[in-house]
Every structure is written in C-alpha cells, then in structure tokens.
Chain A
Amino acid sequence: MRGLFAVVMLDLKRLWVDRVRLVSSLIQPLLYLFVLGSGLGASSTLGGKGYLHYIYPGVLGLSLLFSAVFAAMLIVFDRQIGFLKAVLVAPVSRFAIALGKILSGALQALVPATVLLVLLPLLGLDLSLPAFVELVGAMLLAAITFSALGVATAARFRSTTVFPIISNAVLLPMFFLSGALYPLDRAPIWLRLLAHADPVAYAVDLMRGAVLGRTVYPPLLSIAVLVGFIVVLTWLATRVFAAGEDT
C-alpha cells in the first residue's frame, strides 16, 4: 500500500510543480470542445439536444484518452534519462508500480476532464443527479482504462521518438473509430465491427448514455469490457516492470 502511495505521490507532485503541463491540461479541453463543437456542429444535421451535446461525451473521451496516454508517456522519458531505474530498484512490488502509474495517470487525465464537467451548465446540459453520478463513474472507468493502455504501452519503449508514432498510428485511429464524433449505429458495418475492439468506443458510449440517455452497447457490457481491459493491461504492465532492464 505504501509503495502504491509513493508511486502516486511522486507523479502528482511532479505534475503540481510542472506548471506548463498543469495549465495546458486546463486549457486543452476548452479548445477541443469549442473547435470541435462549433466547427463540426455547423455542418451537422443531428437533431435532439444539438451536436454540441452529442459530441460532449466524445470530447470527454478525447481529453481523457490523450491526457492519460501522454501522462504515461513520461515513463519513456524517465527511462531514457535514467530516472526510472531509481524507482525500479526500490523495494516496491512491480504490481504496485504498475497500478500506481495507472492510477496517477488516471488522476492526471481527470484534471482536464473536470474542467469539462464544470462547463456542463454553460452548455445547457441539465443532468439529473443520478445521471451526473453515472457520468462521473463512467469517466473514472474511462480514465483508468486509457491510463492502463498508456502505461502498458509506454513501459515497453526506450525512446521518446515513439510519441508521435503512438499518437498518429494508435490514438487517433482509436478515437475516430470510437464513435465519439458520429453515431456508431449509423456507421458502415466494417467500422462498427472494428469499434467492437476499441475500448474508447465503450467508454464514450457509456459516458454518452449518462448524458443523452441512450447507448449503442448495453451499459453492463461496456463496463465489463472496460474492466477486462484494465485487468489485462495492468497485468501486462506489471510484467514489463518486473523484467527490469531485461527485455
């Protein structure tokens, strides 16, 4: 437990003193929301509560995904400069390191997501208390999943040159496939099939369920899939940390 606390404390203290990262993580979600909302919204024909309301969960997903994975990518940087070694030689279980990194990444990703949450009333979205709790729960689950994805990936890499590759070849496709910007149930069949393998799709769908009251997947299925991803990815990350410098 102390090991887990140490890992999380280290990362949160580092975020706190890194003012550039902290401030940009507060501004980034606003950018996503207004650029995507007004830009794409103008050409959208979706009815109901309007396109902005429709993509709000998608923007939450985008913000959580990129923040969590980029927080995890700092592991690669730490490995490159040698800082990670100091953590790996500490008498902390490798599971605690993996879980600690995942939880701290999730917490870091929730900072910008909270800004979006605070904006809810401004967007004219009135959520009932149960719906709001549902949304927060879905966000937590999404943050942990994306962070686990980031940590399990980042733990393997030795050079920061992989950042743009991960971003372009993994994150963007995952995001675009997820149905964050358009309704999956109107998408072509091949896209819908691919989305089944995309954790972002389940996470966004779950959050959208809380906001709009309708989902593509049964909520319980989404929860089960996300929990499954978390368990497997945490196990993978633990294995990589246990290998130390052997790879």
Chain B
Amino acid sequence: MSDSAASPALETRGLHKRYGAVHALRGIDLSVRRGEMFALLGPNGAGKTTLFSILATLLRPSEGEARVLGFDSARERVQVRQRIGIVFQEPALEGKLSVRDNLYLMGLFYGLSSRAARARAIELLRTLGLEEVAGREAQKLSGGQKRRVELARALVATPELLFLDEATLGLDVDARRQFWAEVRRYVGTGGTVFLTTHYMDEAEPADRIALIDHGRIIALGSPQELKARVGGGILLLATDDDAQAATWLREHGHHPEVSERGVLLVEPEPATVLPALLASLPVRTRRAEVHEPSLEDVFLKLTGRALEGSPAGPAPRAAGGRP
C-alpha cells in the first residue's frame, strides 16, 4: 500500500498496441502525478481510445507496460479496477432503471453491501445536486443530467483516479460548465483526473496536456508551455487563394501552415509585420486575425493538420490537373 501510494497516478513505458497490421500505439511514455488533471488531446484515430482502454484494464498492450496507481494494468487488473472510476463516451446507464437504482447497482459491483450501496447512492445524489431526479428513469434525463449521473456512477467506489473519455461530447455550454465544476471539485479533494478529448476547450482546464497523433505523444506540457512552443503570436490570413498565398509566403522566407481557417503564420510580433504583408501579398486578403496561440494552433504547427474537422493537406485545386 505504501509502495503504491508513493507511485505516480499513471505511468506508461514504451507502450505499443498493434491490431494485426494496424500500429495504434507506437511507444507511449507518460507519467501523471497524483492530484493532477491531465488531458490527452488528439484527433479521432490518434490512439486515444486504445490508450484509454489499456489504462482502464480492457486491453492488453502488445509491448511495454502501463501502471495505474502503482499496479500493472494488464496483470493486476483487480487492484486497478478497485481504485479507478470511469466515465465512458458511450452511455453506461440502464435507461429504464431509476437514477437511484443505477447507482445502487454500481455500488454492488464495487463490493458494497446492499445497505452501503443504497447509502452511497443517496450521498452522491446529494453532493451532485441530483436529488430531485433520483427516482426518474435514466433515459428521461437531459443530456447534462445523464452525464452527471455517469459521473456519480464513476465516483461510487470513491476512486483515487477518475478517467473521462470524451465526457462532455454533445453537451451544451451550461451542462459542460456544470460537469467540469464537479470534476474540479473531485480534483480539489485530492483525486487525479485523466481525460481524453479531441476538443481543445475540453483540454484547456487541465494542468498538463499530452498531444497525441498517429499513436505517438508529440508534445507534453501545461497549456501555457505548449502555447509558448509555437514561438510567437498567431497571424491568420483568409485570402482568395490560400494555396497561392502560402506559396508566395514560403518564397519570401515565412513558414505558413494552411488549414481550413486560412493561412497560419507564427511571428514574434504578428501585428508589426501585418501591414507589409497585406500590401505585398499577390492575392486579396479577405480577413486578417492576430491572436495568442491556441492549442489548435499548437497542433497545427506540430502536425501540419487541423485538430478538428478535415485535415488541411495540400489544396486539391493547386495539385490537380492544370492544363
């Protein structure tokens, strides 16, 4: 026990996962401290869910090791399972059962006696402000209420580590805020949170963020550190022909990235170079924007692709059949 209490909340070494020919994880090394809120941010298909499933004891790594609260997630699964709570992306509530019964049953699954499980359900409903829906069928709740019940379900066994997989997908702003307030309260009591997401605003409140792409961690740090990595402010130009603008910029010593939002430039003093650029660009600029780097920009800068939506890639018009 003393041994596991001194260990990091999460630790992976050289983690690989292959599904036949698909190499989903290509050597993941991560360490998450206790009491930390840690986000794994990356596009769909980057390996987030695979890593999540390994840490949550549902998958075995092909190579390497994952330790959760000091226990091997492949060999000491029961010890891991006793200490973690998980909010899955998919619903894990029985819609026809009441909220209270859902929590009660989960308590039984985590080894509570029937009486203790009932008491724990009531206690959680009170803490999460869900008392008034306790008797309601889970399927009749709003999206935000459902997610908070899922959170309550994950907290039934008083876990040391909480896993959240795309936990606020599809929620409105209010419901999201309420959900994250509860998560922060859990962190405030000394809990550790590991969350995966492909939305940068979900990762933003985390203490540290790991960017994952093609099964590798491509950057790791606090949101501020990651943004500082971009090395300046962001200058975003939406032009009549982004591909042509990018070509011209490259010829003139800049390093542009093209995304669906426009041509992105990183400049130490973006506001200073803007007027000159506007005057000399061979294409018309419809909109120019100067802002501090976002996590989106970090991802784009590191991978040349946008985090959300379709990958930017080379513009098909420029590459395609010119006569």
Q: Is the CB of A82 within 8 A of B90?
A: yes
Q: Smallest distance from the beta carbon of A18 to chain B beta carbons, Å?
A: 6
Q: Is the CB of B108 within 8 A of A9?
A: yes
Question: In this complex, which of B53, B59, B108 has the most chain A Cβ atoms within 10 angstroms of its Cβ?
Answer: B108
With contact pairs A13-B101, A91-B81, A244-B58 given, residues A83 and B109 touching in the complex (Cβ less than 8 Å): no
With contact pairs A89-B81, A90-B110, A244-B59 given, residues A14 and B91 touching in the complex (Cβ less than 8 Å): no
The residue of chain B having its C-beta at the shortest distance from the C-beta of A88 within the complex is B58
Q: Is the CB of B97 within 8 A of A2?
A: no
Interface residues on B, range: 20 to 34
With contact pairs A244-B59, A246-B59 given, residues A83 and B108 touching in the complex (Cβ less than 8 Å): no
Q: Is the CB of B88 within 8 A of A6?
A: no
Q: Is the CB of B94 within 8 A of A90?
A: no
The residue of chain B having its C-beta at the shortest distance from the C-beta of A17 within the complex is B96
Inside 8 A of B192's CB, which chain A residues have their CB?
A: none
With contact pairs A14-B94, A83-B90, A83-B91 given, residues A89 and B108 touching in the complex (Cβ less than 8 Å): no
Per-position binary interface string of chain B over residues 24-63, scored 1 when its CB falls under 8 Å from any chain A CB and 0 otherwise: 0000000000000000000000000000010011111000
Interface residues on A, range: 20 to 34
Task: Kindly state the separation between the CA atoms of A226 and B193 in the bound complex, as whole angstroms.
Answer: 48
Q: Name B109's contact: one of A81, A85, A87 (CB within 8 Å).
A: A87
Inside 8 A of B91's CB, which chain A residues have their CB?
A: 81-83
Task: Kindly state the separation between the CA atoms of A79 and B146 in the bound complex, as whole angstroms.
Answer: 19
Q: Name B57's contact: one of A13, A83, A244 (CB within 8 Å).
A: A244
Q: Is the CB of B90 within 8 A of A81?
A: yes
Task: Kindly state the separation between the CA atoms of A6 and B108 in the bound complex, as whole angstroms.
Answer: 5
Q: Does chain B have a CB within 8 A of A34?
A: no
The residue of chain A having its C-beta at the shortest distance from the C-beta of B105 within the complex is A10
Majority DSSP secondary structure for residues of A touching B? helix
Q: Does chain A have a CB within 8 A of B78?
A: yes
Q: Does chain A have a CB within 8 A of B285?
A: no
**Chain B, 287-310, CB within 8 A of any chain A CB:** none
Inside 8 A of A81's CB, which chain B residues have their CB?
A: 90-91
Inside 8 A of A82's CB, which chain B residues have their CB?
A: 88-92
Q: Is the CB of B96 within 8 A of A86?
A: no
Supply 20 further A-B pairs (C-beta < 8 A) apart from A85-B88, A85-B92, A244-B60: A2-B111, A2-B113, A10-B105, A10-B108, A13-B101, A14-B94, A81-B90, A82-B91, A82-B92, A83-B92, A85-B86, A86-B92, A89-B58, A89-B86, A90-B81, A91-B110, A91-B157, A92-B109, A244-B59, A245-B53
Task: Kindly state the separation between the CA atoms of A6 and B110 in the bound complex, as whole angstroms.
Answer: 9
Between-chain CB contacts (< 8 Å), 18 pairs: A2-B108, A6-B108, A9-B105, A9-B108, A10-B105, A10-B109, A82-B89, A82-B91, A85-B88, A86-B86, A89-B81, A90-B106, A90-B109, A90-B110, A91-B110, A91-B111, A92-B109, A244-B60
